[in-house]
Amino acid sequence: MTAELTANLGHIEGNEHTKLTVYAATGLDWVRAHREALQDRLREHGAILLRGMPVDLAVFNQVTEEIGGSLLTYTERSTPRSAVSGNIYTSTEYPPAESIPMHNENSYSANWPARLFFLCDTAAETGGATPIADSRAMYRLLPPDLRERFEGGITYARAFREGLGLTWQEAFQTDDRQVVADYCAGNGQTYEWTDEGLRTRHVRPSFVAEPHTGVMVWFNQANLFHVSSLGEEVSEALLDLYPEEDLPRNAYFADGSPIPQADLDTIKETYDEVSYAFPWQPGDIMVINNMLMAHGREPFTGKRRTLVAMT
């Protein structure tokens, strides 16, 4: 069956900027039979939803390997997660009342996944969607002068200490300082050991050309790393308690100068315009091309459990 014909078995949801192809998947055999068409869809359009799959870790693991290949370990962590089985993790463990800003997974790192897989184990009582946003549309719609200011890239600054965000042991998944030093040296990061723990800084691009399509995409986590993402009350409290260099996370322009709040507001407003969200159903498996699609999380009530794998 050709990719074109197979793609027509799904229906398109979304808005004028962000599209999601939804398939009535009947199980692992269906995924295997349509693997090439699903991979083509991800390369060209960025996101698919397999609806009707079982809530089964073994099946989820096999789906990820069929479509994306070998699963990756979550390294250079910036948010808390728990391992569920092998390299399958819980989604970011933030309080239910908080939203998670739109972002491309690990785009702050030199090592980021090509594909993300989300399995809805338990749908929230209300809310809890995982919105997606087309990174091509983001680049296209952001004002040219803003893109020009971000052209040099983004400096990601992190300070690791006990009791505030992740420790360096949690972030780098090791207790060995030499392993961390070697990782930083191999990935373009400066580092400094402190009495409290560790500080790191590095520059990553703000936008890049997606290799398969050649189209420019907005690909970063400036809006998520910036201290203002924590909300005015929390960010002001942290800045009262700690010097700026000791904040758990922050983002600057490549030259180290501050990012204006107006630019961050524009980025958020554009994400709001571009993004699309749908209500999860147990067994749903959403797969996204990490370069073509950003994602986030909406606040929720009740129990919610979404599992994540990266390839």
**What pTM does this model have?**
0.92
Could you give the CA distance from residue 158 to residue 247 in angstroms, rounded to a whole number? Answer: 7
**CATH class of domain segment(s) 137-270:** alpha beta
Q: For residues 17 and 276, what is the distance between their CA atoms, to the nearest angstrom?
A: 9
CATH topology of domain 3-136+276-310: Double-stranded beta-helix (3.60.130)
| pLDDT tens track for 210-237 | 998 899 999 999 999 999 998 888 888 8
Where do you find CATH 3.60.130.10 in the chain? 3-136+276-310, 137-270
Instruction: Give pLDDT tens digits for 81-114.
Output: 777 878 898 887 788 999 999 999 999 999 899 9
d(CA 40, CA 142): 27
Dist CA 153 CA 172 (whole Å): 23
CA pair distance 122, 196, nearest whole angstrom = 38
What does the pLDDT read at residue 234? 86
Alpha carbon distance 240, 298 (integer Å): 29
Pick left, alpha or beta for residue 155 (phi over 0 → left; psi -120 to 50 → alpha; otherwise beta): beta
